[in-house]
Amino acid sequence: MLKNDTVQTIREKALWMRRRAFKMVHDAQLGHPGGDFSAIDIIATLYFGVMQYDPTRPDLESRDRFIMSKGHATGALYTALCAAGYYPEDWLATYMQPNSKLNGHPNRNYLPGVETNTGPLGHGMPVALGIAIAAQISGQTHRTFVLTGDGELQEGSNWEAAMTAGHRKLENLTLIVDRNRLQQGMGTEDTNGLDPLDEKFEAFGWDTVMIDGHDIGALLDILAAPRIGKDRPLCVIANTIKGKGVSFMENKASWHHGVPNAQQYETALEELV
């Protein structure tokens, strides 16, 4: 498929994911739509333009692995897995309902395509590190991608993992930071400043790229590029907008876990076209 066609396919998937995720949050009156919307373009690019996987064989050994470390953004993850064919769309209507497989945080015991349970922030990166080390030792060529929130990088476990990944030259490991600069309650730089984030990862032995996290063409170029022979892990700092695509949500910390009323829901659907 030509790149322009792939970009258009990803855009269509991302739009469907935003609309469907917002409906899930509206119906459940629970969720984290701001972080869903900042991450959806990244996740759609991975699933529909970059990663190798087979939804009919979720445990295929040669599959690429995706770890959703910011596990609270389940609207983004669940809609991606659904669109990729891991389970039918009617499952989405059960989001956060009693006995649903679609919990507030992803659980690999319930859902195909979920590589590991996440939710406690700072855990996804160390798990991804372990998967990448195992592949390196066994000579496997699959890649491991992990998406973290930026506020999550205030957890020290991420930096222990970053140091080890650089030391082991894990070219099969790619970290994407959803850099929307907002966390629960306030801005990341007001809480515990992260800048200069690129220089921190470079100091740990990583290749580092800063891009617009909503530019699907740029995401595709960076994430799909071969890493064999690079001898360094890759950190993609994706500058994003919390609540991207909905005017009353964009760059608002209150939408970290805000839920829409009926009028807000209708307004959002009018804008998400």
pLDDT digits (tens, 9 = 90+) for 209-246: 999 999 999 999 999 999 999 999 999 999 999 999 99
Structure tokens belonging to residue 3? 């790149």
What percentage of the chain reaches a pLDDT higher than 90?
97
Cut 0.95: pTM above it:
yes
How many structural domains are present in the chain? 1
Q: How far is 199 from 268, CA to CA, in rounded Å? A: 37
The one-letter amino acid code at 165 reads A
Confidence band of 2 (pLDDT split at 50, 70, 90) = confident
Given a cut of 80, whether residue 78 has pLDDT beyond it is yes
Given a cut of 90, whether residue 184 has pLDDT beyond it is no
Q: Domain span at residue 260?
A: 3-271
Given a cut of 90, whether residue 185 has pLDDT beyond it is no
Cross-sheet strand order for the sheet of 173-179: 65-68, 144-149, 173-179, 234-239, 207-212
Give pLDDT, residue 158: 98
Structure tokens belonging to residue 268? 């959002």
| pLDDT tens digit sequence for 15-50 | 999 999 999 999 999 999 999 999 999 999 999 999
| pLDDT tens digit sequence for 201-213 | 999 999 999 999 9
Cβ atoms 81, 114 nearer than 8 A = yes
Say which CATH number the domain at 172 has: 3.40.50.970
